Structure 1
Amino acid sequence: MTDGPEPAWPSIAAMTALAAERFPDRTAVVDGDARLSYAELYEEARRFGAALVADGVGPGDRVGVWAPNSREWIVALLGLYQAGAVLVPVNTRFKGREAAGVLSRTRVRVLVTVTDFLGGDYLEMLDGAGVALPDLRTVVIALGRPSGTGVPWAAFLERATTDGLAEVDRRRVALGPDDLSDVLSTSGTTGTPKGVLMTHGRTMRVATDWVAMTGLSEDDRYVMVNPYFHMFGFKAGILASVAAGAAMYPQAVLDVGALLALAAEERATVLPGAPTLYHAILEAPGRDRYDLSSLRVAVTGAADIPVELIRRIRDELPFSLVIAGYGLTEAGTATSTAPDDDPETVATTVGRARPGFEIAVVDGTGERAAPGEVGEILLRGPTVMAGYLDDPEATAEVLSADGWLRTGDLGRLDERGRLRIAGRSKDMFIVGGFNAYPAEIEAMLLEHPGVREAAVVGVPHERLGEVGAAFVVPRPPAPSPDEVIAWCRERMANYKVPRLVELVDELPLTASGKVLKAALRERAAARAAT
C-alpha cells in the first residue's frame, strides 16, 4: 500500500492558525453581506473557542452543530477545535427526537443551532422531543429568533476573555493527529445511526487528498451546496478550503436561480454536488443569462449517474474538470475518476483507489471476486475510521484487525482496477433465486429517453419471493408505466424487470442527496398489497 502525502499540520486547529498566516487578506467566507478574510475568520474562531472555555468545555468534550450551512457553522467548527473539543454535526432534516438521540448518545455539552430554518424552530423541536439530555449545558442560537433557553450568538462570543484566548492557544499546541476530531453519524437510512470516530490526522487527510484531487487553491471560489453535517460538506468542503486558502460560499438551501446568480457575480470556480444539483442547473430556465465561464471543477458521485448527464455537464457547462468518486462516512473519499476519463467512465464507474487506499471486492466466502463479478467492497487506507462510538461489537463486525473495512456496498472491479457500484448489500433483492442489484437496474432505466431519474427497490412477491418496483421521474413526453416495463423486457433479463413502475414528480432524498430507499419500500409494499 502506497501512502499519499501526510498533512503538514499536527491538527485542524494548527491548520487553521497557519491558514491565517499564509492567506491573511484572502477572502475566506462570503455569506450574504458578510465577508471574512482568513485572518478575521481565525480571530472569530479563537473567540468562539475562548467562549467555550469560559463555558467549561474541556479538551475532548463534544460540541454539536445542528444548523444549515452558514458563516456561523464555519466559525463554530474551526473555533471548537481551538478549544480542543470534538465536533458532533446533526442532520438538518432530523426532527427533535432524532436530533436528541444523536446528542444523547454523543454526550454533547454545547449545541449550536437555529430557531428559524425552513419554517422550523430546532430548539423548540428539541425541547418538545421528551428526551433527557443531562450532558447538554448550553445552547447557542446561531441564527433566528431569540429563545429563553438559548444564548444568542453575539452574547456567547462576548464570554471570551483574555485568559480564555490564552488557554485556546495552549490547547491548540497540545492537539495531535491521534486526538479525536469528530463523531459523524452514519446516514441512518437502514437503521439507527452509528457514531463514526475520526481523528485529526484522518480528517485532515480527507481534506488534503481532496485538494490534490481537484487542484483546489487560494484562487478558487467554492460554492458549497453539500450540507456541512455530511462528510463531503465538512471535510471536502470547509477543511479542504482552509487547507488550500480557497474562498467559501455556504448555501443554506438549493435555490438554483440564486445559485446561478451568485456563481456569475462572484466568478465561482468550484461547484460540487449530487447528480440532482447538475440536473437542476442544466434544466434551469434562463440559465444562458448567467456568465458561468469561471466554473472549473465539478465533483459528483452516485451509483446511477446517466452517461448523458455527464456529457451534458461537459458539453453545456464550462467545467474543465468533471470527477466522480466514491466515499463513505467511515472512510472518507476512497476512489475517484481521472481528469482524462471519458464521460462513460465518469458516469458508470467511480474510478480507481485514491493514494494510500486499497480496494477489494469479495464474494460470500470472503475470497476475492473475479474481475467483473459483483461482491462486497472492502477498503483499507489512511482515512478509515477509528471505530464506532461505544460499540466495539459493531466495530469488530466491519473493521478487521489489519484495517480492512467492510463497507456493506456491492460493486465490481474491472480489469483496469476501476470500481463500479452495484448498490447497498441491504438493497439487493432476490427474484426467484437470482440476485437483483438496484443500481444496475437503475442505470439501465436511465438509458430510456423518457426517464430522467429512477430508483428501484425490492418488494415481497408471493411466488418469486421479491420483485423490483421502480420509481421514475419522467422527461416529457412521459412514458406510461406499461411502456417502461415493456421497454425493460426488451433489454433486461426477466428477473431484473420491475413488476411495478410508478411515475413521480421527484424522489425522496436525504439532505446529502441520497435516495431514501426505506420510504420507497414502504410506498411500494403498500401499493403491491392493494
Structure 2
Amino acid sequence: MSERIWLKSYPEGVPHDLPPLPYDSLVGLLDESFRKYTDRPAYSFLGKELSYADTDRLSRAFAAYLQGLGLVQGDRVAIMMPNVPQYPVTVAAILRAGYVVVNVNPLYTARELEHQLKDSGAKAIVIIENFAATLQKCIANTPVKHVVLAAMGDLIGLKGHIVNLVVRKVKKLVPPFELPNAVRFNDALAQGARKTLTPPKLKLDDVAVLQYTGGTTGVSKGAVLLHRNVIANALQSELWNAPVMSKVPAGEQPTGVCALPLYHIFAFTVGMMLSLRNGSKLILIPNPRDLPAVLKELSQHTFHSFPAVNTLFNGLVNHPDFHTVDWSNLKVSLGGGMSVQSAVADKWLKQTHCPIVEGYGLSETSPSASCNPVTNKEFTGTIGVPLPSTYMRIIDDEGREVPQGQAGEIAIKGPQVMAGYWQRPDETAKVMTADGWFKSGDIGVMDEKGYLKIVDRKKDMILVSGFNVYPNEVEDVVARMPGVLEVAAVGVPNEESGEAVKLVIVKRDPALTPEQVQAYCRENLTGYKRPKVIEFRTELPKTPVGKILRRELRDKA
C-alpha cells in the first residue's frame, strides 16, 4: 500500500513515524530509567513500594548471580510467576546478564510447561513456589539445570513473612514439592550482591524475549522478539498515549494499573517496558480474578492508565464496589487481547468518563499494531488505525490486496514485527512474506479513514448455508441484552446448513430463558446469524488473561 490513508486520522502532535531508536538494546533503556528516575517508586505491591533504585540494585545482583551459574550470552531463562515485584526484577536481571527472557504462564499444566521449557531450551527457571509442584513433575524431561524459587512476600520486608505464612499455611496455596537443588530467590540475591556483573555487548538484533503464542492454532510456538522489536513497540505506545498522558499534572508521577499478567506480551510491553521508559509507577495486581481485592487496592491509589481485556472491564464496572475507587484521574483505558463489547464500553464510559480505546496486536507484533486515537470521546467498535511506522493491509488468500471495504486477512509490517518463530522455519514461512509482512490470521476490513474492524479469526468463522457468520458480531449483539453477563458464539455441525450458531451464555438475570434470547436475536440478527442452540452455564472457559476459549466450547460441542 503506497498511501497510508490512516495518517489523516492521527491526533495532532503524534508523529507518523518513529525516530531512530535511542538505545542499542533494552539494557540501554533500563540503565537510562534507573539513572533518571532513581528516587521514584517503580512498583507498588500489597501496600509496599519498590523504587527505581531498588530495582536497579536487586536486578544487578540477580544478573551477577545468573552469570555465576556459567550461562553464556543468548541462553534462555524462563520466568513462571504472577504479578509480583520479583517479576520485573528478574526480567531486568536476565536482560542485563545478556540472556533471553522466556515468559511462562504460571497456570500451565506439567505437560504445557515441559513443552515450553524443551522448545525454548531454557537452562534456568525462576518460579514462584505456588507452582513448584508442576515443575517437579516435568523438570527431569527438560534442559533446566538451575531453579530459583521465589515466594510471594520476598521483596516486601517484614510484611513479606506474614504474606508467606498466609499463602502457605492459611490459604494453603503452595502444594508440597521436592526440588532439592533449588535456590531461594533472596539467597540468590545475597550471593549475587557479592559478585560483579559483566555487562554483555548487546545489539538491537539480538533476541530479547521468546513469547509463546497461546497455541490457539495448535502447538504453542515461541515468537522471537528482538531488542529492537520491544523497544520500538514501547516507544510507539508512548507516542500514541502522549496526547492524554501529557495532561498528567506536573509533579504527579504517571501511574499505571498492571492487572494483566506480566507473562502476557500486552502487560510486558505496554505495562512494564513502557512504564520503565517514562518513569511511571506500576500497581501490580497479583490476581485480577479477585475483583474485590483489585478494587480495594485501586481505592488506595491515584492512577492514569489502565490496560485491560473486555472481561476485566466488564467484571469491574458491574461490581458493587466499583464506586469505592476514584476513577477521575484516568487518562487512558486501553482495551486489547480480545474484542471489547460495545455494551461494556458504554457502561465504562458512563461510570469513569474515560472511553475505552481498543487496540490490536499479537505476540508476534510485540504486541501493539493498531489502536484507536486516545483523544476519541467515544467507543468506535474498531481496532483503530496503524501505529507510527506501522503498515497494515487487507489481503486475499493469494496475498493480493483487496479493494477497500472488502474483508480479507490483516497483514502487518513494522519495527515491532517478530523475527520469526523459534527454530520453526516451516511455521515462520506460513506467516511471514519474503518482504517482511506478517499474516495475522485475523479477518478484517479497512474503511476510507484507515480504521480497521476485525470481523473474525480465519478459523472461528461459522459457515451457515454458505454465509459467513462472525462470532464477534453475534456476541456483541447478545451482550447488549440486559439479562446477559457473558456470551460466546461458536459453530456446531448441522445437517441442514452445514454449521449452525450455538450460544453459550452466563446469565446476569437468573430468570432469563432461551425463548427470550431467541426473541431478542430475531429482532437484532438476520436469519442465518441466529442461534439454533442456546446453552446456559455458570462460567465460560477462559485463558488466564481472560480471553474466552471458543475452541474449547467448539470441541465440546
**Pair in the same fold by TM > 0.5:** yes
Q: CA deviation at 1:162?
A: 5.3
Separation in structure 2 between the aligned mates of residue 477 and residue 341 of structure 1, nearest angstrom: 36
Q: CA deviation at 1:498?
A: 1.5
Letter in 2 for 1:137: K
Q: Structure 2 regions of 5+ residues with no counterpart? A: 5-15, 153-173, 247-251
Separation in structure 2 between the aligned mates of residue 101 and residue 289 of structure 1, nearest angstrom: 43
Say how many residue pairs are matched: 510
Q: Which residue of 1 aligns with 2:122?
A: 108
Q: CA deviation at 1:344?
A: 4.0
Separation in structure 1 between the aligned mates of residue 56 and residue 446 of structure 2, nearest angstrom: 44
Q: Which residue of 1 aligns with 2:78?
A: 64
Helix, strand or coil: the match of 1:124? helix
Separation in structure 2 between the aligned mates of residue 302 and residue 140 of structure 1, nearest angstrom: 30
Q: CA deviation at 1:28?
A: 0.7
Checking the alignment, whether the CA contact within 8 Å between 2:295 and 2:321 is kept in structure 1 is no
- Which deviates further from its counterpart, 256-265 or 187-196? 256-265
Q: CA deviation at 1:187?
A: 0.8
Letter in 2 for 1:106: S
Relative to the length of structure 1, the TM-score reads: 0.92
Checking the alignment, whether the CA contact within 8 Å between 2:240 and 2:374 is kept in structure 1 is no
- Which deviates further from its counterpart, 102-111 or 270-279? 270-279
Q: Which residue of 2 aligns with 1:160?
A: 192
Change (3 A) 1:235 1:302: closer
Answer 1 or 2: higher relative contact order, Cα 8 Å, separation at least 6. Answer: 2
Q: Which residue of 2 aligns with 1:244?
A: 278
Match of 2:94 among 77, 80, 83: 80
Q: CA deviation at 1:64?
A: 0.1
Is the aligned partner of 1:422 residue 2:427? no
Q: Which residue of 2 aligns with 1:413?
A: 446
Residues 223-242 of structure 1: pairs in structure 2 closer than 5 A: 223-242=257-276
Q: CA deviation at 1:427?
A: 0.6
Checking the alignment, whether the CA contact within 8 Å between 1:68 and 1:228 is kept in structure 2 is yes
Is the aligned partner of 1:397 residue 2:435? no
Checking the alignment, whether the CA contact within 8 Å between 1:203 and 1:235 is kept in structure 2 is yes
Letter in 2 for 1:421: I
Change (3 A) 1:236 1:379: same
Q: Which residue of 2 aligns with 1:124?
A: 133
Is the aligned partner of 1:54 residue 2:62? no
Change (3 A) 1:109 1:289: same
Checking the alignment, whether the CA contact within 8 Å between 2:310 and 2:339 is kept in structure 1 is no
Checking the alignment, whether the CA contact within 8 Å between 1:509 and 1:516 is kept in structure 2 is yes
Separation in structure 1 between the aligned mates of residue 339 and residue 63 of structure 2, nearest angstrom: 42
Residues 158-307 of structure 1: pairs in structure 2 closer than 5 A: 158-160=190-192, 163-165=195-197, 167=198, 170-171=199-200, 174-215=201-242, 219-254=253-288, 255-301=290-336, 304-307=339-342
Q: Which residue of 1 aligns with 2:395?
A: 362
Q: CA deviation at 1:293?
A: 2.7
Q: Which residue of 2 aligns with 1:119?
A: none
Checking the alignment, whether the CA contact within 8 Å between 1:54 and 1:164 is kept in structure 2 is no
Relative to the length of structure 2, the TM-score reads: 0.87
Is the aligned partner of 1:140 residue 2:148? yes
- Which deviates further from its counterpart, 296-305 or 325-334? 296-305
Q: CA deviation at 1:302?
A: 5.8
Letter in 2 for 1:129: C
Q: CA deviation at 1:361?
A: 1.2
Q: Deviating runs (4+, > 4 A) in structure 1?
A: 144-147
Q: Which residue of 2 aligns with 1:25?
A: 39
Q: Which residue of 2 aligns with 1:8?
A: 22
Letter in 1 for 2:314: H
| Superimposed CA distance per residue, residues 346-402 of structure 1 (whole angstroms, 9 cap, x where no aligned partner) | xx1011111111111123343322333221111111111100011111111110111
Helix, strand or coil: the match of 2:186? helix
Change (3 A) 1:517 1:39: same
Checking the alignment, whether the CA contact within 8 Å between 2:310 and 2:338 is kept in structure 1 is no
Q: Which residue of 2 aligns with 1:91?
A: 105
Q: Which residue of 2 aligns with 1:528?
A: none
Separation in structure 1 between the aligned mates of residue 517 and residue 404 of structure 2, nearest angstrom: 31
Letter in 2 for 1:96: A
Helix, strand or coil: the match of 1:164? coil
Letter in 1 for 2:261: P
Helix, strand or coil: the match of 1:513? coil
Q: CA deviation at 1:509?
A: 1.2
Q: Structure 1 regions of 5+ residues with no counterpart? A: 117-121, 526-530
Change (3 A) 1:9 1:302: closer
Is the aligned partner of 1:467 residue 2:481? no
- Which deviates further from its counterpart, 155-164 or 459-468? 155-164
| Superimposed CA distance per residue, residues 301-326 of structure 1 (whole angstroms, 9 cap, x where no aligned partner) | 3664332322222221153x632100
Q: CA deviation at 1:111?
A: 0.2
Checking the alignment, whether the CA contact within 8 Å between 1:62 and 1:110 is kept in structure 2 is yes
Is the aligned partner of 1:499 residue 2:532? yes
RMSD: 2.0
Checking the alignment, whether the CA contact within 8 Å between 2:491 and 2:502 is kept in structure 1 is yes
Q: CA deviation at 1:342?
A: 4.4
Separation in structure 2 between the aligned mates of residue 61 and residue 295 of structure 1, nearest angstrom: 40
Helix, strand or coil: the match of 1:522? helix
Checking the alignment, whether the CA contact within 8 Å between 1:54 and 1:159 is kept in structure 2 is no
Letter in 2 for 1:28: A
Letter in 2 for 1:239: M
Checking the alignment, whether the CA contact within 8 Å between 2:291 and 2:315 is kept in structure 1 is yes
Q: CA deviation at 1:137?
A: 1.0
Letter in 2 for 1:295: L
Separation in structure 1 between the aligned mates of residue 549 and residue 432 of structure 2, nearest angstrom: 26
| Superimposed CA distance per residue, residues 79-104 of structure 1 (whole angstroms, 9 cap, x where no aligned partner) | 11110000001112211111111001
Separation in structure 2 between the aligned mates of residue 158 and residue 131 of structure 1, nearest angstrom: 28
Letter in 2 for 1:509: K
Separation in structure 1 between the aligned mates of residue 353 and residue 180 of structure 2, nearest angstrom: 49
Change (3 A) 1:199 1:285: same
